[in-house]
């Protein structure tokens, strides 16, 4: 079946602009995660959704970052007023439940000029 998909695959934006990154999880997966991969920080957890609620937002680096999930499926990560330090690959993962393995999407490479 289809895996986790993310769009766009690449995004180049100017400093100060807002961006939206989309994640389509595996059908039926109730848990959804966002991670960020950058040269300086490695792989960092951002946020966890169970259904449409986010019981763990502890990894969001600032209030410029927000995420939502609708219909227990698609999720959008929004970064407002982007900064150069936001440049990274943003990875989405989904799993069948809290204790199940996480399947990762190909990521969105964000470049902030």
Partner 1 sequence: AQSVTQPDIHITVSEGASLELRCNYSYGATPYLFWYVQSPGQGLQLLLKYFSGDTLVQGIKGFEAEFKRSQSSFNLRKPSVHWSDAAEYFCAVGPTGTASKLTFGTGTRLQVTL
Residues within the interface to partner 1 (CB under 8 A): 4, 31, 33, 35, 42-43, 45, 48, 50, 55-56, 59, 91, 93, 98-99, 101-107
Order of strands across the sheet with 19-24? 5-7, 19-24, 75-79, 65-69
d(CA 81, CA 17): 5
CB of 90 or CB of 112, closer to partner 1 = 90
Closest to 92 (Cα-Cα) out of 80, 71, 111, 110: 110
Single out the residue of 83, 104, 75 nearest to residue 92, CA to CA.
104
Residue 84: CB atoms within 10 A of its CB come to: 9
Nearest approach, Cβ of residue 89 and partner 1 (Å):
9
Comparison of 83 and 111: residue with beta carbon closer to partner 1:
111
Question: Reduced to 3 states, what is the DSSP secondary structure of residue 84?
Answer: helix
Nearer to partner 1, 43 or 83 (CB): 43
If the CB atoms of residues 79 and 105 are measured against partner 1, the closer one turns out to be 105
> Measured from the CB of residue 76, what is the shortest distance to partner 1 in angstroms?
18
Shortest Å distance, C-beta 81 to partner 1: 26
CB of 51 vs partner 1, minimal distance in Å: 13
């Amino acid at each position: 079946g289809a895996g986790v998909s993310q769009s766009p695959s690449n995004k180049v934006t100017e400093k100060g602009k807002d961006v939206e990154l989309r994640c389509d999880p595996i059908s039926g997966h109730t848990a959804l995660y966002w991670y960020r991969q950058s040269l300086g920080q490695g792989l960092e957890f951002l946020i966890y959704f169970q259904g449409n609620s986010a019981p763990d937002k502890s990894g969001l680096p600032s209030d410029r970052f927000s995420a939502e999930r609708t219909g227990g499926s698609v999720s959008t990560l929004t970064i407002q007023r982007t900064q150069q330090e936001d440049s990274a690959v943003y990875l989405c993962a989904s799993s069948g439940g809290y204790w199940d393995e996480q399947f990762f999407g190909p990521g969105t490479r964000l470049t902030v000029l």
